[in-house]
Chains A and B, each alone.
Chain A
Amino acid sequence: MNMDAIKDTYFAECGDQLAELESGLFDMSSGDTDPEIINSVFRAVHSIKGGAGAFALDDLVNFAHVFENALDVIRSDNSQSSPERIDLLLRCADVLNDIVTVARDGGDKIDCEEITKALENEFNLEEEDENAEEAVFDAVPISLDAFDFDDFGTPPKAFQIAFAPQNELYLHGHDPQRIFRELGELGTCTAKADTSKIPALDGYDPKVTNLSWNLTLEADANLSDVKAPFEWVEDFCTLEIEEPEEAPLEGGDDISDFLGGLDAGDDVDTSAFDDGDSLGAPVDVSEESEEAAPSLEVVETKAAPPAEAGKERQAASKPIRVDSAKVDRLINLMGEMVISQSMLTMQINDAGFTSGTPAGLALVELQNLTRDIQSSVMAIRAQPIKPVFMRMSRVVREVASATGKKANLVLEGESTEVDTTVIEGLSDPLTHMIRNSVDHGIESAEKRLAAGKPEVGEIRLSASHSSGSIVIEIRDDGAGINRPKVLEIARKKGIVSPDAKLSDDEIDNLIFAPGFSTSDEITDVSGRGVGMDVVRQSIQGLGGRVLISSEPGKGSHFTLHLPLTLAILDGMLVKTSEQILVLPVTSVIETIMFNKDDVFVIGEGNRVLKLRGQLVPLIDIGNTLGFSEKTTDWDNATIVVVESRKNEMSALVVDSIVGQQQVVIKSMESNYKRIPSIAAATILGSGRIALILDVDDIVSRGAKEITAQPSPKLEKIA
């Protein structure tokens, strides 16, 4: 292990801490006054600062320090909290995040002077100089009242120390010889044991200490130097120090150095103390300490609280940190198990064992177990979506401040658990959509007031589970989509033909069209070279879909449907052109035998299926995907009617249906790239790979071909 590795750990941990910080502050801003929240927030900043100090990341230390002090104000007294203050703290969290990023990746130094000032003013923090922190440890003079000089003389420039340890001293893990050793580092120290209080052997209690020492220290040191070795034992002994008259009383040396030079003490021969017989032998130590000695604080002894606290907590379940690769492997294996099980099921059924037979019953048992294991394994990967949502609150703040708009982010269902992979992939598209909502959706404060809306816009980000998928919604109460403008742009860019008649819904969806970039409208904020088409692609890459609805003057509403997991799919296996393809069962509406009478041709050879009065595009899937030059043998074909998430239907022509089974989803992108019409791949029981079709993509392509026909005219096929 080297320092770089530790630094990596540090930055990884910073990420966790920053998330914790932001999440905690957000909870506080929603009025949560649980003291554990401010504690965890404080702890986060504190840990960041601690590590930063170790790596001499001064900018980070300095800012974290002020931040921490501000947090401490609220931590000590919750009534000090106010929405304005928390807002400021949230902005500080953003700055801290930026400073961490710069410390990690390099880049321009973050200018945090202004916000530091704001923080100091808001929380009435003293502007600190370099030594301010140390000042806390300034020596508190000990009481000299109890001095008794009778037992020993007072040579000039020599400290006289009467030191009588109490039991407590030993109970705290201290050892007097350590103290003598350190005194020896200051100058010449002579110790004389006072054994007079040690009782006769018959009354001896080994648990009670009776030994005390009288020490003479000849040293060029001030009182605080001499007190320093006693710093940790002050409360557990009777200590009397008489200093030479000319010695100054105040100290206040650099506390952070107070352990310096301790190594030197190792050279000192302290063997005299190791042997009980020689107790009281004078120690003559002449080594000079070059290091500053610590200051001393004197505090009153308090009885130690009972030691039981926290013992029960050990029983509480404790999260463990597991390499995500291990979890991925577990999920892969689980997927393979699902495949094996489906093969076994097939074999057992083929062998004629029905569900009533012992073999059949064992199989059912196995299936139940597999399902339980599957959901348990999936639960390992599931994480609350909260961290991603939290990041969005920063996006809203930043965009609002950059555009001069006022907007509030309201989160709902942030504890909804989502597969880690989905969470990771969600951050970018969500950021863009939120940015968009503030930038394009929410109107300026004046416009809002003029429209009779509250001055501050609201963006509602919610997550929920719905029938096997995750639904994420983004609603804003802004102006809604400017349809005339969107249409105008789309026409200008040739995305739609000038005379095309589009429904409101279709116009709204144009913002997802590739190449649609409302350049005259896009600002620095939303621009960044990414359009909503990329957002849609990212969501699709996660196996999800994005829908939009909008109401002029009332706002826009984006809905993301995401799969609960990216790992497993209920698939229908179909065969076409000697290839086995997989269709998600959820998108299959029905399967029908091909019947010539239901098929019509419109325009240039586009075939449609008339299904209960509705015209559905027919797609020869083997031909469309380029697996075969010739079209399928229609007469013996099977038709699978599928529906996209946008409720558009297509009829896929295949050779036959092979069966249904759960398949493990394998990404094409991990070693190759995304392929049109293909969502992913899977591995069949035979070890061969089968492609999983992207039904939405196929359906939208089919629909496009039909709508592209200028004048639909139905003809019976020959």
Chain B
Amino acid sequence: MTTTVLAVDDSRTMRQMLEHCLKGAGFDVVLAEDGADGLEKLAANEPKVIITDINMPVMDGFEFIEAVRGGDSKSRLPILVLTTESDAAKKERARNAGATGWIVKPFDPEKLIGAVKRVMP
């Protein structure tokens, strides 16, 4: 059974990259454009891992993570934060919001897959 990953990023480029890398590694991928979209996609799919950008319009990554953690059945899914944000405060906020881990962009596809496998149930 293939594992589904939900990838949330406002950048089309990043979405394509994520899809490309993850599909190449045999994952199923569901894409979302921002946090709000991510919540909808989460409700409609059964991802095992979530990857999300932080800096997004409409609903940013922090809000998204908090919303996921505040939900019910899927509240404990591993959430990887994908961002070029380099300052520690950002990560702290992400963690406080409930992020499982983070990946620094630009990511190496192998590292991305490694990180996903790292947190995969």
- Are B105 and A40 in contact, with the CB atoms below 8 A? no
Contacts A171-B98, A172-B98, A262-B115 given; does A136 touch B86 at CB 8 Å = yes
Of the residues B69, B75, B119, contact of A178 by C-beta under 8 Å = B119
CB distance from B46 to the nearest CB of A (A): 15
Would you list 5 pairs from A and B whose C-beta atoms are within 8 A, ordered by A residue?
A173-B78, A178-B119, A259-B115, A308-B70, A318-B36
List residues of chain A with CB within 8 A of the CB of B60. Answer: 310
Kindly state whether residue B114 has any CB partner on chain A within 8 Å.
yes
Cα A506 to Cα B114 with chains together (Å): 73
Of the residues A10, A51, A304, A311, contact of B98 by C-beta under 8 Å = A304
Of the residues B91, B100, B117, contact of A263 by C-beta under 8 Å = B117
- Are B105 and A307 in contact, with the CB atoms below 8 A? no
Kindly state whether residue A109 has any CB partner on chain B within 8 Å.
no
List residues of chain A with CB within 8 A of the CB of B119. Answer: 173-175, 178
Kindly state whether residue A49 has any CB partner on chain B within 8 Å.
yes
- Are A259 and B111 in contact, with the CB atoms below 8 A? yes
List residues of chain B with CB within 8 A of the CB of A46. Answer: 55, 84
Which of A42, A171, A263, A309 has the most CB atoms of chain B within a 10 A radius of its CB? A309
- Are A9 and B12 in contact, with the CB atoms below 8 A? yes
Kindly state whether residue A218 has any CB partner on chain B within 8 Å.
no
Contacts A51-B11, A256-B104, A307-B67 given; does A6 touch B96 at CB 8 Å = no
- Chain A residues within 8 Å of chain B by Cβ, number: 61
Contacts A50-B105, A305-B97, A307-B67 given; does A263 touch B110 at CB 8 Å = yes
- Are A173 and B100 in contact, with the CB atoms below 8 A? yes
Kindly state whether residue A306 has any CB partner on chain B within 8 Å.
yes
- Are B117 and A174 in contact, with the CB atoms below 8 A? no
Cα A91 to Cα B28 with chains together (Å): 43
List residues of chain A with CB within 8 A of the CB of B114. Answer: 259-263
- Are A266 and B121 in contact, with the CB atoms below 8 A? no
Q: Which one, A244-252, A295-303, A412-420, is touching chain B?
A: A295-303
**Considering only CB atoms, which chain B residue lies closest to A132 in the complex?**
B86
**Considering only CB atoms, which chain A residue lies closest to B20 in the complex?**
A1
**Considering only CB atoms, which chain A residue lies closest to B66 in the complex?**
A307
Of the residues A49, A172, A266, A297, contact of B88 by C-beta under 8 Å = A297
- In residues 79-106 of chain B, which contact A (Cβ within 8 Å)? 79, 84, 86-88, 91-92, 95-106
Per-residue CB proximity of B42-75 to A under 8 Å, as 1/0? 0000000000000111111001101111110001
CB distance from B19 to the nearest CB of A (A): 7
List residues of chain B with CB within 8 A of the CB of A671. Answer: none
**Considering only CB atoms, which chain A residue lies closest to B16 in the complex?**
A6
CB distance from A301 to the nearest CB of B (A): 7
**Considering only CB atoms, which chain A residue lies closest to B77 in the complex?**
A173
List residues of chain A with CB within 8 A of the CB of B11. Answer: 13, 47, 50-51
Cα A297 to Cα B92 with chains together (Å): 9
CB distance from B14 to the nearest CB of A (A): 6
List residues of chain B with CB within 8 A of the CB of A235. Answer: 95-96
Cα A25 to Cα B34 with chains together (Å): 23
Contacts A173-B119, A304-B69, A310-B59 given; does A50 touch B77 at CB 8 Å = no
Kindly state whether residue A500 has any CB partner on chain B within 8 Å.
no
- Are B13 and A255 in contact, with the CB atoms below 8 A? no
Cα A259 to Cα B117 with chains together (Å): 11
- Are A313 and B58 in contact, with the CB atoms below 8 A? yes
Contacts A43-B55, A47-B11 given; does A313 touch B36 at CB 8 Å = yes
- Are A9 and B16 in contact, with the CB atoms below 8 A? yes
Cα A175 to Cα B63 with chains together (Å): 23
Which of A12, A136, A306, A307 has the most CB atoms of chain B within a 10 A radius of its CB? A307
Cα A40 to Cα B55 with chains together (Å): 9
List residues of chain A with CB within 8 A of the CB of B10. Answer: 43, 47
**Considering only CB atoms, which chain A residue lies closest to B63 in the complex?**
A310
Interface of A is mostly: helix
- Are B106 and A12 in contact, with the CB atoms below 8 A? no
**Considering only CB atoms, which chain B residue lies closest to A262 in the complex?**
B114
Cα A342 to Cα B115 with chains together (Å): 63
- Are B19 and A51 in contact, with the CB atoms below 8 A? no
Contacts A136-B87, A173-B78 given; does A302 touch B105 at CB 8 Å = no
- Are B13 and A54 in contact, with the CB atoms below 8 A? yes
Per-residue CB proximity of A149-179 to B under 8 Å, as 1/0? 0000000000000000000001111110010
List residues of chain B with CB within 8 A of the CB of A136. Answer: 86-88
Kindly state whether residue A133 has any CB partner on chain B within 8 Å.
yes
Cα A304 to Cα B69 with chains together (Å): 10
Per-residue CB proximity of B15-51 to A under 8 Å, as 1/0? 0110110000000000000011101100000000000
Cα A2 to Cα B24 with chains together (Å): 11
List residues of chain B with CB within 8 A of the CB of A40. Answer: 57
- Are B95 and A6 in contact, with the CB atoms below 8 A? no
List residues of chain A with CB within 8 A of the CB of B121. Answer: 175
**Considering only CB atoms, which chain B residue lies closest to A178 in the complex?**
B118
Cα A12 to Cα B71 with chains together (Å): 36
Cα A262 to Cα B113 with chains together (Å): 9
Kindly state whether residue A137 has any CB partner on chain B within 8 Å.
yes
- Are B13 and A6 in contact, with the CB atoms below 8 A? yes
Which of A136, A182, A304 has the most CB atoms of chain B within a 10 A radius of its CB? A304
Of the residues A1, A52, A174, contact of B19 by C-beta under 8 Å = A1
List residues of chain A with CB within 8 A of the CB of B20. Answer: 1-3, 6
List residues of chain B with CB within 8 A of the CB of A10. Answer: 12-13
List residues of chain B with CB within 8 A of the CB of A2. Answer: 20
Cα A218 to Cα B60 with chains together (Å): 42
Of the residues B67, B99, B118, contact of A172 by C-beta under 8 Å = B99
- Are B76 and A170 in contact, with the CB atoms below 8 A? yes
- In residues 431-470 of chain A, which contact B (Cβ within 8 Å)? none
- Are A6 and B86 in contact, with the CB atoms below 8 A? no
CB distance from B42 to the nearest CB of A (A): 12
Contacts A9-B13, A173-B119, A265-B118 given; does A309 touch B67 at CB 8 Å = yes
List residues of chain B with CB within 8 A of the CB of A79. Answer: none
Contacts A50-B106, A172-B95, A314-B40 given; does A182 touch B118 at CB 8 Å = yes
List residues of chain B with CB within 8 A of the CB of A42. Answer: 55
Kindly state whether residue A5 has any CB partner on chain B within 8 Å.
yes
- Are B84 and A49 in contact, with the CB atoms below 8 A? yes
**Considering only CB atoms, which chain B residue lies closest to A316 in the complex?**
B58
Cα A61 to Cα B121 with chains together (Å): 35
Given A52-B106, A310-B36, 12 more A-B residue pairs with CB atoms under 8 Å apart are A3-B20, A9-B12, A54-B105, A170-B76, A172-B100, A173-B79, A231-B101, A232-B102, A301-B96, A307-B67, A310-B63, A313-B36
